[in-house]
Structure formats: structure tokens, C-alpha cells
Amino acid sequence: DAKTTQPTSMDCAEGRAANLPCNHSTISGNEYVYWYRQIHSQGPQYIIHGLKNNETNEMASLIITEDRKSSTLILPHATLRDTAVYYCIVSSNDYKLSFGAGTTVTVRA
């Protein structure tokens, strides 16, 4: 599976949009982009996934560039409960998700 690169950490203000970038320049045509988050000492939580079109659900939006080499997860109105480690993962359907270090997002009041 392709490797991803994310910033180590970022802060955002409560109530503002949080934009989390991810680079996956070696992504191949059949690989999806998945986003998960892990709140301290809990299991990872699925957020959203996409192949090439932008996607939106009740938790977040996913913007994938046209060349698919990068993506951005958008939390439209960050709350204190969104403080977590966010993982961007690229995977084909081989039952493997490789979790890297992710981005530690701290939402501040």
C-alpha cells in the first residue's frame, strides 16, 4: 500500500474548521484514502473514505486532489471532543490498514 505523510501535530480553535492535510504521492489507481481518528486510549474510529471524488458525511468532508496525490480532511466546526490523533491511510482491498503516527489535533477553547 502507498505511504502517507501527515504533519505531526496541529492546533485549531473550537468552532472553526479544521483542515488536516495528507500526502500520498505514490497512490495507485485501486487504492482508497481512509481517515480514522483515535481519541486517547480508545479504539480508532472510522471517519470517511474516498477514491477520487470528494466525499461528505455527518462527521467530515474529504477533498481529494485531481491527481489523487494528496487529500484534506475537513472538520467543519471543531469541538473539544474532536481532540484526537487523526490517521490518513491508503489501502487497496487486502485487509491491511497501515497506521502511521498520524496528526495529533488539539482543539482549543
Partner 1 sequence: ETGVTQTPRHLVMGMTNKKSLKCEQHLGHNAMYWYKQSAKKPLELMFVYNFKEQTENNSVPSRFSPECPNSSHLFLHLHTLQPEDSALYLCASSQEVAGKNIQYFGAGTRLSVL
**3-class DSSP state for residue 69?**
coil
Place of cell 481518528: 37
35 touches partner 1 by CB under 8 A: no
Neighbouring C-beta atoms of residue 83, cutoff 10 Å: 18
Q: Give the N- to C-terminal CA distance of the chain in Å, as an integer.
A: 37
Binds partner 1 (CB under 8 A): choice among 42, 53, 66, 67? 42
Helix (H) or strand (E) holding 32: strand 32-38
- Of 1-9, 10-18, 34-42, 73-81, the window that binds partner 1 (rule: CB under 8 A) is 34-42
Binds partner 1 (CB under 8 A): choice among 30, 53, 58, 109? 30
Q: Are 74 and 15 in contact (CB under 8 A)?
A: no
- Of 9-17, 63-71, 74-82, 100-108, the window that binds partner 1 (rule: CB under 8 A) is 100-108
53 touches partner 1 by CB under 8 A: no
Residues binding partner 1 (CB under 8 A) = 30, 32, 34, 41-46, 49, 91-102
